[in-house]
Amino acid sequence: MSEALARASAYLPVLLEGVWVTIAVTVLSLLVSTVLGLFWAILGWTKVPAFRAISRTFITVIRGIPIIVQLFYIYFVMPDIGINMTAFQAGVIGMGIAYSAYQAENFRAGIEAIDRGQIEAAQSIGMSDSLIMRRVILPQAFRIALPPYGNTMIMMLKDSSLVSTITVAELTRQGQLIAASTFDNMTVFTLVAIIYLIMALPLTYLARQLERRYKKT
Amino acid sequence: MISVRDIHKSYGSAEVIRGISFDVEPGEVVCIIGPSGSGKSTILRCINGLETYQKGDILIDGTRVDPEDKSIKAIRQRVSMVFQRFNLFPHRTAIENVMEGPVYVMGMPRAKARELAASYLDKVGLGDKMDSYPDNLSGGQQQRVAIARALAMQPEAILFDEPTSALDPELVGDVLGVMRQVAEEGMTMVVVTHEMGFAREVADRVLFLEGGVIVEQGPAGEVLRNPQELRTQSFLKRVLNPL
Ligand SMILES: Nc1ncnc2c1ncn2[C@@H]1O[C@H](COP(=O)(O)OP(=O)(O)OP(=O)(O)O)[C@@H](O)[C@H]1O
Ligand SMILES: [Mg+2]
Q: Which tens digit of pLDDT belongs to each residue from B112-162? A: 999 999 999 999 999 999 999 999 999 999 999 999 999 999 999 999 999
Distance CA B37, CA B31 (A): 16
User: What are the residue boundaries of the structural domains of chain B, listed by start?
Assistant: 2-87+157-240
Residues B91, A143: C-beta atoms closer than 8 Å: yes
Q: Using CA atoms, how far apart are residues A26 and A21, in angstroms rounded to an integer?
A: 8
CA distances from A82 to A74, A75, A79, A178, B119 (A): 11, 11, 5, 34, 64
Per-residue CA distances from B144 to A29, B149, B178 (Å):
46, 9, 7
Q: Cβ of B88 and A121 within 8 Å?
A: yes
Q: Which A residues 106-145 touch B at CB under 8 Å?
A: 115, 117-118, 120-128, 131, 135-136, 139-140, 143
DSSP B157-225: EEEEESTTTTS-HHHHHHHHHHHHHHHHTT-EEEEE-S-HHHHHHH-SEEEEEETTEEEEEEEHHHHHH
What are the tens digits of pLDDT across the range A119-166?
A: 999 999 999 999 999 999 999 998 888 888 989 999 999 999 999 999
> CA quadruple A83, A87, A92, A96: dihedral positive or negative?
positive
Q: Tell me the ligand closest to B212's alpha carbon.
A: 1
- Minimal Cβ distance to B104: which of A117, A121, A131: A131
Give domain B2-87+157-240's CATH architecture. 3-Layer(aba) Sandwich (3.40)
Contact (CB<8Å) B89/A143: no
- What's the number of CA atoms in the CB half-sphere (13 Å) around residue A100? 28
Residue A165 DSSP class: G
pLDDT at A216 over 80: no
Contact predicate B207/B214, CB 8 Å = yes
What gap in Å lies between CA B45 and CA B24, rounded to an integer?
Answer: 16
Q: Which of B41, B83, B214 has most ligand 1 atoms within 8 Å of CB, for mutation? A: B41
Confidence category of residue B234, pLDDT binned at 50, 70, 90:
very high
CB-based contacts of B239, cutoff 8 Å, min separation 6: B33, B194, B196
- State the pairing for strand pair B55-60/B63-64: antiparallel
**Which CATH number is correct for A2-216, 3.20.19.10, 3.50.50.60, 1.10.3720.10, 3.30.420.40?**
1.10.3720.10
The answer, for A214 touching chain B at a CB cutoff of 8 Å, is no
Worst-scoring range by mean pLDDT, B124-128, B142-146, B201-205, B237-241? Answer: B237-241
Cα-to-centroid distance, B46 and ligand 1 (Å) = 12
Residue closest by Cα to atom 26 of ligand 1: B36
Q: What percent of chain B has pLDDT over 70?
A: 100
With H, G, I as helix, E, B as strand and everything else as coil, classify residue B234.
Answer: helix
**B116 vs A: CB within 8 A:** no
Helix (H) or strand (E) holding B64: strand B63-64
* Closest CA to ligand 1's atom 27: B36
Alpha helices (H) in A46-137, listed in sequence order: 49-63, 67-72, 87-112, 116-124, 129-132
CA–CA dist A150, A215 (Å, integer): 13
ipTM reported for the complex, 2 dp: 0.92
User: How many angstroms from the chain centroid is the CA of residue A93?
Assistant: 10
| Range A76-82 contact pairs with CB under 8 angstroms and sequence separation of 24 or more | A76/A166
Calpha distance A131→A42 (Å, rounded): 13
Ligand nearest to the CA of B43: 1
- Confidence check: pLDDT of A217 > 60: no
For residue B105, how many other CB atoms are within 10 A of its CB?
20
